[in-house]
Amino acid sequence: MSDSKIAIDGVSKGFGALSVVGGVSFDVREGEFVAIVGPSGCGKSTLLNIIAGFERPDQGQVRINGVARTGPSRNGIMISQHGSVFPWLTVHENLMFGLSGTSHGDKRARADRYIDMVGLAGFEAAYPHELSGGMLKRVEIARALVVKPEILYMDEPFSALDALMSLRMQTELRRILDEERHTVLLITHDVEEAIFLADRILVLSPRPTMIQTTFDVDLSHPRKLSDPRAQVLREAILKELGL
């Protein structure tokens, strides 16, 4: 694609005799939200780590803005299921830490804006142990977005939350992305999450993983999973996953 933000070309990866990623190629457009689903253990996280620059492929190449990726860079931020909030810093301090060493103008005002954006105004001085799981995830999202990353890499970010909180966080993320344009790659095992959030869904095969099929999600936001078109899409994706 001429407007590709991310280009993945023939990427393969193994660990010893175990072949994990078996030759994956796809492009992601500027501002596109792509979700990747696949069987447990198929290599989804390994693929995302290669794209984000944390792993080197054995074969193939990843290009960001046309430039070959050789390692992590400041133009992308990873949000994982494990979390990365510093427990010894307050909410406000966590965001200020993310801004350290950057050239953003009024950093305090910027941190305040993103704290308010994720609905944590009034909790600026709270420490992580004083917050619920959902609030912690909001801090992590705010800390990622405050540095204005071009790309968000998300590895099952809401999997540790209960179903209701996960849906709330998906809605919150979608609202923020409607305000601020980011290119997003999401790894998820939750088909409904993928349908709710993404512009395009890639279904991966079992290991060594390859792209089995691709679905465009032609549904306007805000989406309702009860929409018959969403249900048809859900059934088609589940069928590809063998369910």
**3-state SS of 77-126?**
EEEECCCCCCCCCCHHHHHHHHHCCCCCCCHHHHHHHHHHHCCCCCCCCC
| Block residue for tokens 């965001």 | 95
The pLDDT value recorded for residue 169 is 83
- Percentage of the chain exceeding pLDDT 70: 96
Q: What is the mean predicted confidence (pLDDT) over 213-229?
A: 93
Q: Which residue has the higher pLDDT, 169 or 209?
A: 209
DSSP state of 173: H
pTM: 0.88
Per-domain residue ranges for the chain?
4-240
pLDDT band at residue 116, thresholds of 50, 70 and 90?
confident
Q: Does 161 score more than 50 pLDDT? A: yes
pLDDT of res. 105 = 63
More confident residue, 197 or 222: 197
| CATH code for residues 4-240 | 3.40.50.300
Q: What is the mean pLDDT of residues 203-231?
A: 93
So what's the pLDDT on residue 117? 81
Residue 238 pLDDT exceeds 90: yes
pLDDT at 56: 94
Please report, as a single letter, which amino acid is at residue 134. Answer: G
Instruction: Tokens 């179903």: give the residue.
Output: 163
Tens of pLDDT, residue by residue over 12-46, are 999 999 999 999 999 999 999 999 999 888 999 99
Task: Please compute the mean of the pLDDT values over residues 198-208 and round it to a whole number.
Answer: 95
